[in-house]
Amino acid sequence: MDHAIVRDWIDEAFFAPGARDADDEAARGARAHLAQCVECAAYDEQTRRVALKLDLARGPSPEVRTRVLAAARRTQRPDTARQQAARPAAGQPWWRTALAWRLAAAALVIAVVGVGAGAWWANASHSDSDADHLTDAVAMMSTLASQPGAVEVVLRDAAGNGSGMAVVSAASHQLAVFATHLPAAVAYHCYLERGGQRTWLGRMYVTPGVQFWAGDMDAGIDMQPGDRLVVAADADQPMVLSATL
Amino acid sequence: MGVRNSGRSDEELVAALVEGDEAALGELYDRHAESLFRAALLRLGDRGLAEEVLQDTYLALWNRAELFDGRQGSVIGWLSTIARNRAIDRLRSSARRPAPVALSGLVGTGADPASAADARDAILAAATPLAGVTAAPDPEREVDMAELRREVEQALADIPERERQVLMLAYYDQLSQSEIAARLAWPLGTVKTRTRRALARLRDTLGEQWRN
């Protein structure tokens, strides 16, 4: 592998989280070259120092705080749980119970579906089962969120605005995706994107105000940290929402 | 002891955590997450891993708050120890990962990550005190971070606007070059060229060891 190819790889890895640790031929070749080429190793260190300084100056992503608080909410403190077992009705915040969580989620569904429902039912080209699917999808989301190792991400548009969320469970190999503020007239799809390549996950269901998809991922799909979850109108179309897992 | 938001001390917030007070967790996050993240990032050299360490540290705090003993040390000292251990765990499990880059000439660039990490401890002592050591404000460190931010801001400002635009979309927003081309209505080749140029400029300005 010559110097130019390795330096191209270094430049590309600068913009692609996880690329440096990839187990593909290019990454292996580049790592082997860097181990023995002083000039390219210096180029690599310079490039990584740029990334380090940018990241230090920026601080942690706001999503980390959201994830911490969401995980804390899902993971009731052991001693708090014991206290509540002893006093099931006393002092227990309503949002802490799984049942209340599901009821709240159901209320959300009802509210979301309820808003504009008249217009939707009048114009709906989709079957009324989409609303049923939404209820199921929200229930699945709450189930996935409680599983060990579940990952929750905020979906953002190109401008960085949060417009949805997704929960991925490696344990059950399932995924739930919810997007808001997307045009109802357009059918969107969910993709897993790695190295610029997209793998189709599913076509999103449409309800007023919410487009969503939830279910089992195909056995061949192997989500990894650094992969991107992408919502787009088609595989070749620009993403409208995305999140890095 | 620095106090923000509610006026409660760190120790009072940890006591509230034991009672299941989620707001206390958020307040402790707002106070200390940035310094913990920076320490983890310097140790690991990987933003994603540093964020994982940060998340793990706060979840450990949430789950084990009752173990904190204020007589043994400060809350930030305890958090720093948890974060340090989590970071070391990740270094050990990432055999392929190269040694973190040296930010400053004060830090060695040896290939052994543990050695580099130990060296960084000397610089980050105030941000990563061991348990039992009371964290004290470190004005010099704050000045250093202020200097680094200025350096980064200046470096970004020195990049021509169109190159900076594509760099920000690619690095901070993690858009692919195809997505950037579609969003800006530029030919893909133009996006690639400007991305490379922007990175080359940053390598010239930020790629050298830190002046301080």
CB contact under 8 A, A67 and B183: no
Give yes or no for residue A195 having a pLDDT over 80: yes
A192 contacts A202 by C-beta, under 8 angstroms: no
The pLDDT of residue B43 is 85
3-state secondary structure of A192: strand
B182 neighbourhood in chain A, CB within 8 Å: 238
Give yes or no for residue A72 having a pLDDT over 90: no
**What gap in Å lies between CA B191 and CA B202, rounded to an integer?**
17
**What gap in Å lies between CA A134 and CA B160, rounded to an integer?**
47
B64 contacts A80 by C-beta, under 8 angstroms: no
Facing B59 at nearest CB: one of A71, A93, A96 = A71
CB contact under 8 A, B98 and A68: no
Facing B55 at nearest CB: one of A54, A68, A80 = A68
Whole-Å CA distances, B21 to A13, A96, B13, B34, B69: 41, 12, 8, 21, 18
A102 or A213: which leads in pLDDT = A213
Backbone angles phi, psi at A164, to 5 degrees: 160, 180
A133 lies within 8 A of chain B by CB: no
Q: How confident is the model at residue B15 (pLDDT cuts 50, 70, 90)?
A: very high
Q: Which 8-state DSSP code applies to residue A170? A: T
The pLDDT of residue B66 is 86
CB contact under 8 A, A50 and B148: no
B71 or B134: which leads in pLDDT = B71
A213 contacts A201 by C-beta, under 8 angstroms: yes
Helix (H) or strand (E) holding A33, with range, is helix A25-36
CA-based angle B103:B105:B110, to the nearest 5? 80
Q: How confident is the model at residue A167 (pLDDT cuts 50, 70, 90)?
A: confident
Q: How confident is the model at residue A222 (pLDDT cuts 50, 70, 90)?
A: confident
Q: How confident is the model at residue B100 (pLDDT cuts 50, 70, 90)?
A: low
A143-180 b/e (C-beta count within 10 Å ≥ 16 → b): bbbeeeebbbbbbbbbeeebbbbbbbbbeeebbbbbbe
The pLDDT of residue B32 is 94
The alpha carbon of residue A235 is apart from the nearest alpha carbon of chain B, in Å, by 12
**What gap in Å lies between CA A68 and CA A218, rounded to an integer?**
29
3-state secondary structure of A232: strand
Q: Can you read off the two tokens belonging to residue B1?
A: 């002891």
Q: Provide the mean pLDDT of chain A.
A: 75
Going across the sheet that includes A239-244, the strands are: A197-203, A189-194, A228-232, A239-244, A151-156, A162-169, A174-180, A210-216, A205-207
**What gap in Å lies between CA A30 and CA A41, rounded to an integer?**
10
Residues 6+ apart with CB under 8 A from A180: A163, A164, A209, A210, A211
**What gap in Å lies between CA B207 and CA B92, rounded to an integer?**
27
A196 neighbourhood in chain B, CB within 8 Å: 176-178
Closest chain B residue to A70 measured between Cα atoms?
Answer: B22
Give yes or no for residue A121 having a pLDDT over 80: no
Residues 6+ apart with CB under 8 A from A176: A137, A140, A141, A144, A166, A167, A212, A213, A214
**What gap in Å lies between CA B105 and CA A32, rounded to an integer?**
26
Closest CA to A49 of B169, B100, B171, B106: B100
